[in-house]
Every structure is written in C-alpha cells, then in structure tokens.
Amino acid sequence: MTYEQVKQPVEVVVVFKQRKPEPFIIKWGKRYIRIQKIHLVHSERIGRDKVYYFSVSDNANAYRLSFSTETLHWHMDEVRVLS
C-alpha cells in the first residue's frame, strides 16, 4: 500500500442523503472519481473554521477529502493506493 499526501483543490458533487451531505463524484485534475463508500466523517476546529474530513474510497483506492466551512473549498488531502 502506498500513501501520498497531496493537499490539492478538487471539485466535488455532493448529494444530501437523509439531510446529510455525502460527496458523490470528485473531479481531480482531469480525472473523475465515483465514490463508492464513505467510511468515516470527522471534524476539526481550526480557529473559527470548522473543517470536515471525509474518508472515502472507490473500487481501488482510498482518499481523504476535506471541506472548509469557512472558505467552502474542497481539498484532496491524502490518497492511498493498493500496490
């Protein structure tokens, strides 16, 4: 398993299921990633900002996305690839 910290801005399509937002598709550069499962959601307060982290996966890789409630920006934080 290889692990990479990327911290790059991404575009995300979000759906609301039972009033909870769930990232659905990630556009990372020219790649589109269809999220298969959300494994864990956790949050962190950084001053006034509250950042939500979504640990997700598609069929091959696991990703960690972050969403800042202050800037409303999504970032791809980490990618874990099966090698």
Distance between the two ends of the chain, CA-based, in angstroms? 5
Q: How far is the CB of 6 from other proteins (least distance, A)?
A: 15
Residues 6+ apart with CB under 8 A from 30: none
- Per CB under 8 A, 72 contacts other proteins: no
Task: List strands edge to edge, sheet with 74-81.
Answer: 2-9, 74-81, 61-68, 49-57, 37-46
Q: Which residue has the tokens 């609301």?
A: 16
Interface characters, 30-59, with other proteins (x: CB under 8 A): -------x-xx-xxxxxxxxx--x-x-x--
- Residue with smaller CB distance to other proteins, 30 or 63: 63
Interface residues with other proteins (CB under 8 A) are: 1, 37, 39-40, 42-50, 53, 55, 57, 62, 64, 80, 82
